[in-house]
Amino acid sequence: MNNIFESIPEELADEHFDRLVDSGSVSIERIVSKGHRSPESGWYDQQRNEWVMILKGEAVLSFENDSSIRLKAGDYINIEAHRKHKVEWTAPDTETIWLAVHY
């Protein structure tokens, strides 16, 4: 048995990604951020849909059409394939733990 809140690195120079499940058509990962954000240039333009939930912390996602959404613990969003987006902000003083399902 594993716990989503355990084995988090103490030093987070970069975002930390853990692939929890991968069936080929569906993958589930834990992402840990602490003050991290996407690069200024470019957008994520993914081939598959992505459902993400914030388990701990806070984040702001921005979309190519200039809209943004603030997520806090318990909030989730489904991002359709090819909907260009980026992480604008994550809480700098605590870990933001994401659960991401790619399908």
**Would you give per-residue pLDDT tens digits along the chain (103 residues)?**
999 999 999 899 999 999 999 999 999 999 999 999 999 889 999 999 999 999 999 999 999 988 999 999 999 999 999 999 999 999 999 999 999 999 9
32: buried, middle or exposed (CB in 10 Å: 19+, 13-18, 0-12)?
A: buried
Q: For 16-102, CATH number?
A: 2.60.120.10
In contact, 92 and 34? CB cutoff 8 Å: yes
- The predicted structure's pLDDT at residue 66: 85
pLDDT in tens, 42-63: 999 999 999 999 999 999 999 9
52: buried, middle or exposed (CB in 10 Å: 19+, 13-18, 0-12)?
A: buried
- The predicted structure's pLDDT at residue 40: 86
CA distance 56 to 96: 5
